[in-house]
Amino acid sequence: MMSVAVEAEFVRRGMRHTLRNPDALVTSLALPVILLLLFVYVFGGAIDTGGDYVDYVVPGIIVLCAMFGSAGTAVGVCTDKVTGVMDRFRTMPIRGAAVLVGHVVASLLRNLVATALVIGLAIAIGFRPDAGPVEWLAAIAVIVLVVLAVTWMATVAGLLAGSVETANALGFVVMFLPYLSSAFVPVATLPSWLQGVARHQPVTPVIETLRGLLVGTPIGHQGWWVVAWWGGLLVVSMVAASALFRRRAGQ
């Protein structure tokens, strides 16, 4: 019980840091909303997807939202490391990795709020999902898996980086993957040399799975690829973060 209470306190700490950091709030909440409006109203009329563009683009914006919100975790973890806060926490009678768990859970909560905001705005401007309760639960599970995987990858980046600036750069690298996927345009419209990249990278299966769950397009084997890609990335990132944390603790 004490361990749970400690980790809950670290989660509250992470949320307080978010509320006190305008840059983090803009990145995790406002920017996805701006991108949604930009793609729907500026680019949507020029892109033919065979249906309403808002229905096509919302799953991509949801994934991009998860990438934006999770990548900032690298900065928080690195800040704790370079300022010595992480070392001070280790001197306390608490489980050392609780500080990392706090960052990850705070990121998950922050991203779920941002995702709800994006979906609410999308519905207001014409998004019409036909998903039932089961499909919505499956979509939420996919989003949670992706957020956790990206957040743990960002945690690894924060532990590896020697400065906050480097952590910021490393954390944001992953955010470019949605632009090289089926998020905003059909893969078939991309240059032939880029279509292979778009089809065989981890973000496209997530978007196609969410698109199928929310608006009823074919999913095929994409759901299994989501589990394979993002489940694998989550496990590898958690193991790597744990190893890096223990190595630093032994220094």
Annotated domain spans of the chain: 2-249
106 contact partners, CB below 8 Å, separation of at least 6:
10, 11, 13, 14, 15, 17, 18
Report whether pLDDT(188) > 60. Answer: yes
For residue 18, the model assigns a pLDDT of: 60
Identity of the residue numbered 180: L
pLDDT in the model for residue 35: 86
Least confident of 5-9, 55-59, 105-109: 5-9
Helix or strand or coil: residue 66? helix
Of the candidates 51, 45, 34, 69, the residue with the CA atom closest to the CA atom of residue 154: 69
Q: What is the chain's alpha carbon radius of gyration, rounded to the nearest angstrom?
A: 19
Whole-structure pTM value: 0.87
Which residue's entry shows tokens 């670290």? 10
Give the mean pLDDT of the chain: 82
